[in-house]
Amino acid sequence: MATDWTETMNGVSERKLDTNYHHVRIHYSADPEKDADWMRRHSARYGGTDSPKWRREMEIDYTAVKGQPVYPMLCADHKRVTPISDMTIFRVIDHGIRHPAVCLWVGVNKTGDRHIFREYSRSGATIPVNCAEILRMSTEAVRDTWIDPATRQRIPLGMKDNRPISVVSMYNKSLGFPCRFADNSSVGYDAVKNGLLSTLARKALLSGSVDPDSDFCKTYFTEFALTTYELEQLASKPALTIDPSCYKTFKELRNLRYKDVTGDVTGKAPPEAVMDYEDDTADCCRYAMQSKLNYSSIGLCVKGSPYYDIMKKRGGGSRVERY
């Protein structure tokens, strides 16, 4: 059995395991520069020192996040009607048959901000049916379509030379061009969080001061007394906004929770697993924020040009379109 924890110096605790190894915990208070003022300001990124994220990551409380929302900073300020005429348009797909197949249309501007302006979600439909509907709904020129890399798996739903073909191959065939594999790493949860905080920080900077009528601004900014420079640091990340018509996307982001923690949390920190329930549009948001969806201003595609037929296959209409 491991011995009890012993504080060997300020902010550093140690215990001896039954394997004769020494387990050391180093708290941020071991750094003399990380005083109470640093703690107050730095915790703004986590939602304050009482937030589960802060307690887990900074106070070594492994069970703090269980059942807690992944994006507590999500609020009405993130709902926004934004013109997409100066954006590059992408589609992001999360495959599903029994659970919903989801596609989000994402506009990316010159500074890398993401704006989700259209959503598609349907259960029980085949890949060709979903793709036909996705193409029908794509009224703008679409630069690229990104998809969950899990679609590399091969399934017996389609056959080629008497062998199962991959899910992504079926999407490529139905859409008429290759999809790109999105980055589905868990660091994308932080990318979404940073995007949501960036939107709030920009609102605070534009208004000249934190809105005293906003509970979210009170929670995330006012009590931390952030300087203009610190707000600018938060605002420098690519922002994330959502069109009010994307009801399912907003709802699933708001309801996303961390799983309960089980097992011996003192021996090994359990992963910050997120509940795999009604998270399909939330997954697409994560792919969109973490993947390299880059703005492009390469020319225009008009009817009659050599690229028109290509752009039409990509989901563009008959009007003048960006490519």
Range of the domain at 1: 1-33
How far are the Cα atoms of 108, 127, 170, 230 from residue 167, in angstroms, in the given order? 27, 9, 5, 45
Quote the CA–CA distance of 106 and 294 in Å, as a whole number.
Answer: 11
Average pLDDT over residues 62-90: 83
Confidence bin at 124 (pLDDT 50/70/90): confident
For residue range 179-234, list pLDDT tens digits in order.
999 999 988 889 999 999 999 888 888 866 555 555 566 566 766 667 788 888 88
For residue range 246-291, list pLDDT tens digits in order.
999 999 998 888 766 555 444 555 555 675 556 789 999 999 999 9
Residue 82 sits in the same domain as residue 9: no
Tokens of 291: 């993947």
pLDDT of 68 reads: 74
Residue 302 sits in the same domain as residue 216: yes
Quick check: is 135 in a domain?
Answer: yes
Quick check: is 54 in a domain?
Answer: no
Going by DSSP bridges, is the β-strand pair 321-322/180-181 parallel, antiparallel, or unpaired? unpaired
For residue range 88-114, list pLDDT tens digits in order.
999 999 998 777 899 999 999 999 999
Residue 25 sits in the same domain as residue 104: no
Helix (H) or strand (E) holding 104: strand 101-108
How many domains are contained in the chain? 2
Residue 239 sits in the same domain as residue 105: yes
Quick check: is 175 in a domain?
Answer: yes
Confidence bin at 55 (pLDDT 50/70/90): low
Going by DSSP bridges, is the β-strand pair 114-122/144-147 parallel, antiparallel, or unpaired? unpaired
Helix (H) or strand (E) holding 206: helix 188-207
Residue 6 sits in the same domain as residue 113: no
Residue 175 sits in the same domain as residue 227: yes
Q: Which residue has the higher pLDDT, 26 or 321?
A: 26
Quick check: is 139 in a domain?
Answer: yes
Residue 154 sits in the same domain as residue 298: yes
pLDDT of 33 reads: 80
Residue 242 sits in the same domain as residue 321: yes
Helix (H) or strand (E) holding 201: helix 188-207
pLDDT of 51 reads: 66
Beta strands in 153-272 (DSSP E): 154-160, 163-166, 180-181, 240-242
Tokens of 149: 């890399």
Residue 102 sits in the same domain as residue 24: no
Residue 138 sits in the same domain as residue 286: yes
Confidence bin at 17 (pLDDT 50/70/90): confident
Residue 22 sits in the same domain as residue 83: no
Residue 228 sits in the same domain as residue 140: yes
For residue range 277-286, list pLDDT tens digits in order.
567 899 999 9
Q: What is the CATH number of the domain that holds 247?
A: 3.30.420
Quick check: is 49 in a domain?
Answer: no
Quote the CA–CA distance of 157 and 24 in Å, as a whole number.
Answer: 51
Helix axis angle for 280-290 and 247-255, nearest 10°, is 90
Q: Which residue has the higher pLDDT, 322 or 133?
A: 133
Confidence bin at 53 (pLDDT 50/70/90): low
